[in-house]
Structure 1
Amino acid sequence: MAVKPLAKAGLIWRFFLYTLGAAFAFFRRTRALKKRQKRQQALERRKQAAAPSGNKPQLQDTEAAATQPPPQQQHPRNIVVVGASFAGYHVARELAAGLPEGGAHRVVVVEPSSHFHWTWALPRVCVAEGHEHKAFIPYGPHLAGVAPGRLRWVTGRVASASRGSVTLQGDDDGGDGEVIPYDYLVVATGSGAGATLPSRVGAADREGGLGRIREMQRRVAGAARVVVVGGGAAGVELAADAKARYPDKDVVLVHSRPAVMHRFGPELQAAALEGLRGLGIEVVLGERASVGEDGRLVTLLRSGRTIECDVFISCVGQRPTSDVLAGLSPGCISESGHVRVLPTLQVADESLPNVFACGDVADTGTANPNGRAAVRQAEVVADNILAMATGGGRPCAEYRAHWADGVIKLTMGLEKSIMQFGDGKTEFFWHSKEKDVALGVDGAWRHLGAVPFEDSTDELAQYRQV
């Protein structure tokens, strides 16, 4: 009878040790990175101070001059990072800070979105008005200290990749997209291809994203019955938030599996189901659904039951965004759409040792992919590229998925949540209360170097040079 409590105690102890070790590693790595950034800043100041007075730019031209790379880097060797969410943004920062002074390499980030989307908050802000702007964190502050010549930021999309270069999508007038050569390529395009709210914003610019979220808020507020399809985290959280915010509405959650949160342990599944039904949500399990053209009639495919609704919200079908590699190495893309990778996170193609993938797009064996796992993968990629690019060494860092990175906080309405972690055999969860309707997103802003919730300047201006 004591086996289960002992197993849980052991799980908690192992989780504590892993988390403590990860925290020490994070602070040690962050401290080293900040030291490198300070050295970069000091070198830049010395360069400016040593420049002949006649060559110093006029005051009004200071910003323009700062955006120009040093003369020796007019034609740098590029490390192209495609995508700047959790994995891509972090790997770009690590690489740019780690490149040696006067080296030949430069980081080029290609990202379509104007802001970092804090996706964990999207289900909440689709229901809770007045907080939607907090899910859009300005790019740039996370790169503080990176000299402009070491990094270029391109707002755009990669249409295709070949051996040695990527081609950007052309403009709306049909013009050809820019071709950017690379020595190293990092694919960090994430998942969610084709997905929209509440899983993904579905718009590249902040204003367009805010408009979509506010439209979702209006639709939910004006509905008598809301049907949510998909019982993963996004679907569960949105359904719970909608019912908690509007108790008089009918909310129906349809899921094709026998249990909600099916990728997690049975104890979390049971707790989530209990929480949903406790809020008064009708949960339909083991059913797939189709919706009519007008979005108001949902048909359950197994039973044939029909449900009329005012709002239909799909929370299914997230797929890895691996199209960028489809032409370059189709064999490294799995049936699920993930990019097959080696433990070094190089793509599983012997002819492409300079191409890496990390984050949700990579097939790393991570049971529950999230931002924590993506950042750990970014560190592995950065370490390996720096070893290869600056010292001619071999990639030695390897990524190993760890169950403790899969810890989840699942909100169950506006004021309650469930925390859970497990190793696949044993799990531990507990209930907690939520004090902040915005889910503490201000901490995410600070983590990415931004001041909550200030977004008045273009922090990337100095990195937009061609």
Structure 2
Amino acid sequence: MVTALKKTVVVLGLSYGGAHAARTLSQRLPRGWRVVCIDRNTHFNHLYVLPRFAVVPGHEHKAFIPYQPMMTLHDPTPVAETVLLHAHITSLAPNSLTLSHAFPEHGIEGPERRLDFDYALYALGSHLPAPINLWGPVSDDPDVFAVTKSTVQDVVGKRQSPSGVAEGKGSAYQGTKPEAISWLQRFGERIKSASSILVVGGGPLGVREYSTDIKERHPSKHVTLLHSRTQLLPTFVKGMHDEIVSTLTELDIPTILGDRLDLASVKEGKTVINPDGKKERVVRTVSGREIRAELILLCTGQVPNTGLMAQAVPEAVISEGFKKGQTRVARTMQVAVPAPSPKSHGIDSVRTVLNGLSLSDKRAQNGDKPVHLPYPNLFAVGDAVDGFGANNAGRNSYYMAERRESSRGSARPIRARSSSKAIKISLGMRKQLVQNEEGQAVTSMDGVEDLHAPSMWDLYGVSTDDMHR
């Protein structure tokens, strides 16, 4: 093991929040600092377009943006050294990590393959369900079987597959662009060949890309949507639900609300042969309603990738309740644990803050709970954190990762912006549904087939001439 001679900041995960943070740090930190960016993928995966591109072929190359030009700097002023590492993170501690393989040119040598750091930004996001998980198989069988063994809500320590973690160890998949394009194409063929599809989950993934996209693209398919709540997109205004139900009705998509998939019926493995000679699963809802489907797509939500955080700071991972599995952070986005009792610890003797503000600060917001910062050098952003009410969305992860500079050039703490409940979803190829900042549901017919994927290249400063790289 070789200890880094420079001040080192590591960014774990290069999705929406991590990529923006890495670019910002690389441009703002002075020479003598090093920003080490680690991800298991060779390209930035624009996750929001993956379901569409699995249904509509020909655009797959637009979903994967090369990291190298993204980190290229054009600012002539002194900047930090930037290092990009394509690897899995195998363990994490408050001041060091280990990787799946060595990088001798950067002082990361075997057999330890250890990298020491001064600061870390944990941006490993969340584990996406099988229909959008490029690291999983192109089939519904493994994931459908898996949910018969554990519930989706059982988060901590299970089903953890962070961007960067050795979740794909032993798999031939290595997170490259050609492999990802091939996965989308093979999954698209699986969807195309299925005569009947059951979509489980009425969130954005189940509603927008899969149910409506599949039915509009393949009108003859029988598509059914099953959702456990009585309202689709329950965290948004009722007008969103009403517009979605109207569209599902127009597309002739049977929708079952307020009922759940009976996992026991999945485990039974009952099948029938339909008139076309194809085999269909026969499953039930908890209420006893029978559903037949050749393909089952489980769009049952995201699981925070906090397995590594649980290694480094176990108390930072929320262990129960609605936020189970998320990382606790202060308003500065520093990793936090519950504050010790004032009776047993003097307030001045511990690093206790009220979501980033001192306990004596009159500006502290009502309802914020005091927390303790055991390792002030650790920060976390994105879907893996309890973001003070912000919904899981790339735009919120992006803004969490913003940082400010003091007048003397030293880094100020990252601060979370106020949460936003705005969302934009597609309902088929052209129809767009938006909940705006005022809480209104607004529709338009200005959607495009590739979901404006090139605009993400522009946002990160990468030429669209590189789309086939």
Q: Give the alignment partner of residue 62 of structure 2, picking from 117, 120, 134.
A: 134
Q: Give the alignment partner of residue 286 of structure 2, picking from 302, 318, 343.
A: 302
Q: What's the TM-score, normalizing by structure 1?
A: 0.73
Let me know the Cα RMSD of the aligned residues: 2.6
Compute the displacement of 1:418 (Å). Answer: 0.8
Give the Cα–Cα distance (whole angstroms) in 2 for the partners of residues 369 and 379 of structure 1.
Answer: 17
Give per-residue Cα distances to partners, 1:367-388, cap 9 Å, x unaligned. Answer: 42212211111013xx3xx669
Compute the displacement of 1:176 (Å). Answer: 4.4
- SS of the aligned residue for 1:324 comes to helix
Compute the displacement of 1:420 (Å). Answer: 1.2
Contact 1:257/1:287 (8 A) holds in 2: yes
The runs of 5 or more residues in structure 1 that have no matched partner are 1-72, 458-466
Give the Cα–Cα distance (whole angstroms) in 1 for the partners of residues 408 and 180 of structure 2.
Answer: 38
Q: Does 1:120 align with 2:48?
A: yes
Compute the displacement of 1:359 (Å). Answer: 1.0
Q: What's the TM-score, normalizing by structure 2?
A: 0.73
- SS of the aligned residue for 2:178 comes to helix
Q: Does 1:334 align with 2:318?
A: yes
Give the Cα–Cα distance (whole angstroms) in 2 for the partners of residues 389 and 148 of structure 1.
Answer: 16
Contact 2:270/2:283 (8 A) holds in 1: no
Contact 2:30/2:80 (8 A) holds in 1: no
**Which residue matches 2:302?**
318
Q: Does 1:198 align with 2:210?
A: no
Give the Cα–Cα distance (whole angstroms) in 2 for the partners of residues 389 and 111 of structure 1.
Answer: 32
**Which residue matches 2:211?**
239
Note closer, same or farther for the CA distance 1:397–1:328 as it changes in structure 2 (3 Å cut). Answer: closer
Q: Does 1:78 align with 2:8?
A: yes
Which amino acid is 1:87 matched to? G
Which amino acid is 1:205 matched to? T
The runs of 5 or more residues in structure 2 that have no matched partner are 103-109, 137-172, 272-279, 338-372
Note closer, same or farther for the CA distance 1:302–1:280 as it changes in structure 2 (3 Å cut). Answer: same
Compute the displacement of 1:282 (Å). Answer: 0.7
**Which residue matches 2:394?**
371
Contact 1:268/1:429 (8 A) holds in 2: yes
Give the Cα–Cα distance (whole angstroms) in 2 for the partners of residues 121 and 249 of structure 1.
Answer: 22
- SS of the aligned residue for 1:140 comes to helix
**Which residue matches 1:158?**
89
Give the Cα–Cα distance (whole angstroms) in 1 for the partners of residues 131 and 116 of structure 2.
Answer: 34
For residues 100-115 of structure 1, the aligned pairs below 5 Å read 100-101=30-31, 103=32, 105-115=33-43
Which amino acid is 1:365 matched to? F
Compute the displacement of 1:298 (Å). Answer: 4.6
- SS of the aligned residue for 2:443 comes to strand
**Which residue matches 1:211?**
182
Which amino acid is 2:118 matched to? D
Compute the displacement of 1:148 (Å). Answer: 9.0
Compute the displacement of 1:305 (Å). Answer: 2.4
Contact 2:204/2:425 (8 A) holds in 1: yes
**Which residue matches 1:360?**
383
Q: Give the alignment partner of residue 224 of structure 1, picking from 195, 204, 207.
A: 195
Bigger share in helix = 1
- SS of the aligned residue for 2:375 comes to coil
Give per-residue Cα distances to partners, 1:277-316, cap 9 Å, x unaligned. Answer: 2111011111221435589425233222222212111111
Give per-residue Cα distances to partners, 1:214-254, cap 9 Å, x unaligned. Answer: 12211111121111111100100111000000111110011
Contact 1:417/1:431 (8 A) holds in 2: yes
Note closer, same or farther for the CA distance 1:455–1:431 as it changes in structure 2 (3 Å cut). Answer: closer
**Which residue matches 1:276?**
248
Contact 1:192/1:200 (8 A) holds in 2: no
Q: Give the alignment partner of residue 18 of structure 2, picking from 66, 71, 88.
A: 88
**Which residue matches 2:224?**
252
Q: Does 1:452 align with 2:467?
A: no
Contact 1:125/1:132 (8 A) holds in 2: yes
Give the Cα–Cα distance (whole angstroms) in 1 for the partners of residues 25 and 237 of structure 2.
Answer: 37
- SS of the aligned residue for 2:49 comes to helix
Give the Cα–Cα distance (whole angstroms) in 2 for the partners of residues 121 and 443 of structure 1.
Answer: 12
Q: Larger deviation: 180-189 or 321-330?
A: 321-330
Give the Cα–Cα distance (whole angstroms) in 1 for the partners of residues 270 and 123 of structure 2.
Answer: 36
**Which residue matches 2:450?**
438
Give per-residue Cα distances to partners, 1:50-71, cap 9 Å, x unaligned. Answer: xxxxxxxxxxxxxxxxxxxxxx
Compute the displacement of 1:196 (Å). Answer: 2.8
For residues 392-403 of structure 1, the aligned pairs below 5 Å read 395=412, 398-403=415-420
Contact 2:388/2:419 (8 A) holds in 1: no
Compute the displacement of 1:259 (Å). Answer: 1.4
**Which residue matches 1:414?**
429
Q: Larger deviation: 310-319 or 141-150?
A: 141-150
Give per-residue Cα distances to partners, 1:402-439, cap 9 Å, x unaligned. Answer: 33xx321111111211111256xxx2122111352001
Q: Does 1:265 align with 2:237?
A: yes
Give per-residue Cα distances to partners, 1:112-171, cap 9 Å, x unaligned. Answer: 011111111122111111112211111122222178961111111212211310112359
Note closer, same or farther for the CA distance 1:74–1:161 as it changes in structure 2 (3 Å cut). Answer: closer
For residues 174-189 of structure 1, the aligned pairs below 5 Å read 176=111, 178-189=113-124
**Which residue matches 1:43?**
none
- SS of the aligned residue for 2:461 comes to coil
**Which residue matches 2:145?**
none
Note closer, same or farther for the CA distance 1:256–1:177 as it changes in structure 2 (3 Å cut). Answer: farther
Which amino acid is 1:196 matched to? A
Give the Cα–Cα distance (whole angstroms) in 1 for the partners of residues 26 and 214 of structure 2.
Answer: 42
Note closer, same or farther for the CA distance 1:309–1:362 as it changes in structure 2 (3 Å cut). Answer: same
Which amino acid is 2:393 matched to? N
**Which residue matches 1:37?**
none
Compute the displacement of 1:270 (Å). Answer: 1.2
Note closer, same or farther for the CA distance 1:455–1:271 as it changes in structure 2 (3 Å cut). Answer: closer
Give the Cα–Cα distance (whole angstroms) in 2 for the partners of residues 348 and 388 of structure 1.
Answer: 27
- SS of the aligned residue for 2:464 comes to coil
- SS of the aligned residue for 1:209 comes to helix
Contact 1:160/1:325 (8 A) holds in 2: no
Contact 2:204/2:233 (8 A) holds in 1: yes
Contact 1:241/1:412 (8 A) holds in 2: yes
Note closer, same or farther for the CA distance 1:396–1:112 as it changes in structure 2 (3 Å cut). Answer: closer
**Which residue matches 1:343?**
331
Note closer, same or farther for the CA distance 1:266–1:411 as it changes in structure 2 (3 Å cut). Answer: same
Note closer, same or farther for the CA distance 1:411–1:108 as it changes in structure 2 (3 Å cut). Answer: same
